[in-house]
Amino acid sequence: MEINVFVEAIASELKIRLGEDYEVKIKKIEKNNCVNYHGILIRKEDENVAPTIFLDGFYQDYMKGASVEMLAENVLKIYREYAPEGDVDTEFYRSFSSVSDKLSFKLVNIAKNKEQLKDIPYKAFEDLALVPICLVKDKRIGAGSITVKNSHLEFWEISKKELWEQALENANKINRPKIRNVADAIGSLAPEGLYEMSIMVLSNDKQAFGAAVMLNDGVLKELSETLHDDLFIIPSSVHEVLAVPATVCNGDPSFLRLMVKEVNSTVVKDEDVLSDNVYYYDSCLDRLGVYSA
């Protein structure tokens, strides 16, 4: 059974079990880098929030022998555990003054997200796009973020400049940097001598789309001053980057580019790839850019 047929079968089973008071819809979810997932959206009548449950993992279970009936029951268990009771307040999103202190940004690859970015007031940095997001927190559905679209600017009656002034100002407060020595991040797997190399892992406190902290005001400047060196920035994924003191590379960072490309093609999930480039932070100029030498 192909995955599309499997999703239809799960949807049919859920409709039977839930009855007419629930809406069950099949939904394709496009994630970062145009990676698509298959989902089921379940909405109780008259509620304004409908959880989407991804089915790709369930399909793998089906291919290993699990029945559609058993998997549909597992989907229902997840829905019942996480479905909010009643409506979620969305009024806060109706005015710019209500969302302005919740704005920040994430980083994605421009070339890999061309279609998605057409509807987004993004800022370009080298081969990357700063994508504006609004943080959302509800005691029933938890924390998450909403991507700000061009239509939101029209609705809020603000300019792209006004949006970005606020998002950049908020960045260190909302997208709080978390910086660790790579040996601490690896733990017991760290080889002897890695601490002395002072290679740092940069992310945020949520470790979700944390690569963006490299563009937070003052983060690389402060780290460079601490390490007394310029920095090579290696994009591990959209969630984190590595900062390597320039002297560690002995003036030849070519192996870093090879490493990034190899890791991106063999280790990092397609949706988590940020870039194949290596970046260089010049402490004298306080400037970050793609390393091209």
Task: Give the pLDDT of residue 257.
Answer: 86
Residue 73: DSSP 8-state: H
> What's the whole-model pTM score?
0.86
Residue 100 CB coordination number (10 Å) = 18
* Residues present in the chain in total: 293
- Is the CB of residue 267 less than 8 Å from the CB of residue 228? no
The model's pLDDT over 181-231, given as tens digits with 9 standing for 90+, comes to 887 766 544 445 445 567 899 999 888 899 999 999 999 999 999 999 999
Strand partners for 281: 231, 288
- Radius of gyration of the CA atoms of the chain, in A: 22
Cα gap 113→17, rounded to integer Å:
38
Q: How far apart are CA 59 and CA 65, in angstroms?
A: 10
Tokens for 255, please give them.
Answer: 């192996």
pLDDT at 85: 67
Question: What pLDDT is attached to residue 51?
Answer: 79
The Cα–Cα gap between 26 and 43 comes to: 12
Closest by CA to 194, choosing from 248, 268, 234, is 248
pLDDT in tens, the chain (293 residues): 899 999 999 999 999 999 989 999 999 999 999 999 999 999 888 777 777 899 999 999 999 999 999 999 999 999 988 776 655 566 667 889 889 999 999 999 999 999 999 999 999 999 999 999 998 875 555 567 889 999 999 999 999 999 999 999 999 998 899 999 887 766 544 445 445 567 899 999 888 899 999 999 999 999 999 999 999 999 999 999 999 999 887 756 778 888 899 999 999 999 999 999 999 999 999 999 999 86
- The tokens for 29 are 């979810």
State how far the Cα of 205 lies from the Cα of 52, in Å rounded to an integer. Answer: 25
For residue 279, what are the β-bridge partners?
Answer: 233, 290
Ramachandran area for residue 249 (φ above 0: left; ψ -120 to 50: alpha; else beta): alpha
CA dihedral 57, 60, 64, 69 (to 10 degrees): 60
Reported as a single tens digit per residue, the pLDDT across 80-115 is 887 766 555 666 678 898 899 999 999 999 999 999
210 backbone dihedrals φ, ψ, rounded to 5°: -80, -10
